[in-house]
Amino acid sequence: MLALVAANLRRRAARTLLAAAGVAVGVAAVVALLALSTGLNNAASGFVHLGKADLGLFQRDAGDPTSSVLPLALLPRVRAQPEVAQATPIQIVVGAVAGHPGAIVLGLEPGGFAARQLVITAGHGMARGQVLVGDVLASQLQVDPGSVLKLGRRRFPVGGVFHTGLSYEDSGAVLDLRDAQALAGRTPGEATTFAVKLRPQTPASTGVRELGRAFPGLSAIADPGEAVRAGANTVLISKAVLLVVVLALIIGGLAVANAMLSALLERRRELALLATIGWSTAQLGTLVLAESLAVSMLGTGVGVLLGLAAGKLLPGALGLSGFISPTLTAWGVGRAVLIGLAIGTLGAIYPVWRVTRMRSVVALAQT
């Protein structure tokens, strides 16, 4: 039967390709959004424990962690909370390192716990007007103390190289908070987040609850998964994925159904002959279903490739290329295949029903 399926699809190559294209467009949109969503989730989760903090404070309902803006005037009140041991402001700057869009530049307060945990492996510590480079990024850029690193439109001498053990920090750079604020276009009274260390024996859940209660306009986040759910962009993308899946099923299913029904009408004599030589209605229905699934799988394969390509372009279109690297997981590919199978099955329902009700004698008489 597989040989017959392949032969039938090759005989009507143009129709097969058009139906597969309809499936490919829907699957590509789903794959691109899934890859973007996974990349956004990975990126958002990395910002919760910057500076080895217990939790981070961000602006509530910010599109993503990097778009959060907090007034430094709140910092004394945060530090005065009974569950807080230390709090330090951090300015996050994305897209400042040319050729390395995933490199994050952090603006740290000199003397804050986030700055103190930098282990200097070459050169010296933080200084105004100079940049410290994580050892991973320093290796990639081949810079060392005394080199000059361009960040945005400014050039900073490299004062030292550091290591923290946190991939986001070691793959990025550190500036004095005031330099980072200027680089990001923020005022001296603003920062992206407050990194918070809780007092000993204070559970993170307690800190999140109490700080959220004390500062209604802020989101206190200790769980990386919560950072993912808090971002408005993540919610938007999740809803978009569901909408696109539904549209892909409808449009792809109609495209496949139209192609299979047209082929069925053209092949009535062929199918009638198969029935007269002993093929059962179940076998005829299986043949039509197999052809429908084959078309859908062809479209799914093309759609996955197109979706990967589109996924690499979406961060730039959404202004998120500075810290998102679209990632397609095995489960993402699995979902694309399941959608393809669903499209093929939906598209085959009516043609299968038609072929199982066909009478071979009548079909032969009409051809």
CA 329 to chain centre: 10
In whole angstroms, give the CA distance from residue 141 to residue 155: 14
Q: Which of 46, 134, 41, 53 is nearest to 86 (CA)?
A: 53
Answer whether 111's CB lies under 8 Å from 105's CB.
Answer: no
* First-to-last C-alpha distance (Å) of the chain: 24
Beta strands 105-108 and 84-93, pairing class: antiparallel
Domain edges within the chain: 2-43+234-365, 49-222
Partners of residue 122 on adjacent β-strands? 161
Q: What is the pLDDT of residue 287?
A: 84
Cut 0.75: pTM above it: no
Low-confidence ranges of the chain (pLDDT < 70): 1, 4, 8, 40-48, 63-64, 224-241, 315-325, 358-367
In whole angstroms, give the CA distance from residue 206 to residue 212: 10
* pLDDT tens digits for range 276-307: 777 787 888 888 888 888 988 998 999 899 98
Q: What angle do CA 128, 130, 132 make, to 5 degrees?
A: 115
Q: What is the pLDDT of residue 364?
A: 42
In eight-state DSSP terms, residue 324 is -
In whole angstroms, give the CA distance from residue 66 to residue 44: 9
Q: What is the pLDDT of residue 183?
A: 94
Q: What is the pLDDT of residue 344?
A: 85
What is the three-class DSSP state of 193? strand
DSSP 135-184: HHHHHHHT--TT-EEEETTEEEEEEEEEE-S-HHHHTSEEEEHHHHHHHH
Alpha carbon dihedral 140, 141, 144, 148, in 10-degree steps, equals -160
Q: What's at 99, amino acid-wise?
A: G
Q: What is the pLDDT of residue 258?
A: 80
